[in-house]
Amino acid sequence: METAVGSENTPLTSLSEEDRLFQSSVRQFAREQIAPHVRTMDEQGVFRKDILRQMFELGLMGIEIPEEYGGQGGTFFQAVLAVEELAVVDPSAAVIIDVQNTLVNNAMLRWGSTEQKKRYLPRLATELLASYALSEAGSGSDAFALATKADEQGDHFVLNGRKLWITNAAEAGLFLLFANVKPEAGYKGITCFLVERGVEGFVVGKKEDKLGIRASSTCELVLDNCKIPRENVLGEVGKGYKIAIETLNEGRIAIGGQMTGLAHGALQHALSYARERKQFGKPISDFQGVQFELAEMATLVEASRLLVYNAARLKERGLPFLTEAAMAKYFASQTAETVASKAVEVFGGVGFTKDYPVEKLYRDAKIGRIYEGTSNMQRVTIAKQLLNKG
């Protein structure tokens, strides 16, 4: 059964009863458990361990992991809903579960061996935070220009190199790390390895001091003759490029969800403030100039949400979704930056201070146009797909 769901935090959007209840539970958790700590976590640049533990206990870290492995047995769409709802309150919390669910867990479910699934999925669902390590200093938009090398030596590989901009790295116990086994073969040598924290030759390095999503850790990784057994190869040797492409195509839908949630949070703050703030003897919400801004913000948020939901549902049904995912990520990241900026303006001078939440959301929004494929890369993807259709 599908029902039109509407509340102060969600405009009318068609959701099943199961999805609605799931969404409501995540929303309640975000409001009650995360919201009181958002400002402090942002200032300190650290995500609270007790909140991370609660996210595991609620099943938010293993949404699509089957129940036989201790997960929720949920759907990709529910993972996107969770990312969106958390981002309304704190985009840092949203990206933590995004990486865990849409990148790491999905990769393990699709390409993991039976033994790897038995070894890692129960822990990923209950207590093991994971990270996705692809980017390097010279490998950003050109994702396959990897310099990290993996030398094959019998029953193991020796990894050397450095990774940058790795989300969840400060807290993660498992890393899906990409290295090239045969650099002369280009992308056909890229291989995905399961690297556990603490293995000799592997170090989590500098933590970045970022503009936004500050409570989400972003660190460099250093590999110095790091010995990884062959059984820790995810998928096949030389097929890491396929894992990277497919997971990132799906992951950008969830980033679209994150940016939509962020924008919706900014809109809600702006609406509340506009009703309360008085100038010239009446609430500023009575002024047409403010009303026009709020109307535009709300329209952008709803359009962003529909693009994201459409891409997620296409993916779930096994239909082509590459173009729609790129559109969703591109439009949602633009929406987040625009709506957060307008929210600051609705607040006026106080919106420029850290005493009100819209300043943080404005800072958080910028990353949406950069990570998991820049806005320019999304436009390239969209254009190529359109042209290839003739």
Domain 131-237 has CATH 3.40.47.10: no
Q: What is the pLDDT along the chain (390 residues), one digit of tens a residue?
A: 333 333 444 444 579 999 999 999 999 999 999 999 999 999 999 999 999 999 999 999 999 999 999 999 999 999 999 999 999 999 999 999 999 999 999 999 999 999 999 999 999 999 999 999 999 999 888 877 899 999 999 999 999 999 999 999 999 999 999 999 999 999 999 999 999 999 999 999 999 999 999 999 999 999 999 999 999 999 999 999 999 999 999 999 999 999 999 999 999 999 999 999 999 999 999 999 999 999 999 999 999 999 999 999 999 999 999 999 999 999 999 999 999 999 999 999 999 999 999 999 999 999 999 999 999 999 999 999 999 986
Topology given in CATH for the domain delimited by 241-388: Butyryl-CoA Dehydrogenase, subunit A; domain 3 (1.20.140)
Please state, in angstroms and rounded to a whole number, the distance separating the CA atoms of residues 357 and 38: 9
For the record, the structure tokens of 180 come out as: 């090239």
Backbone angles phi, psi at 301, to 5 degrees: -65, -45
In this prediction the pTM is: 0.95
C-alpha pair distances (Å), 373 with each of 198, 239, 330: 30, 20, 9
Instruction: For Cα atoms 68, 69, 73, give the angle at the middle one, nearest 5 degrees.
Output: 70
Q: Which residues are marked as active site? A: 372
For the record, the structure tokens of 259 come out as: 């940016």
Domain boundaries, the chain: 2-128, 131-237, 241-388
Task: Dump strand ranges (E) for the chain.
Answer: 2-5, 13-16, 130-133, 149-153, 156-167, 174-180, 190-196, 202-207, 218-229, 233-234, 278-279, 282-283
Topology given in CATH for the domain delimited by 2-128: Butyryl-Coa Dehydrogenase, subunit A; domain 1 (1.10.540)
Cα 203 to its chain centre, rounded Å, is 24
C-alpha pair distances (Å), 54 with each of 46, 97, 235, 241: 16, 12, 31, 34
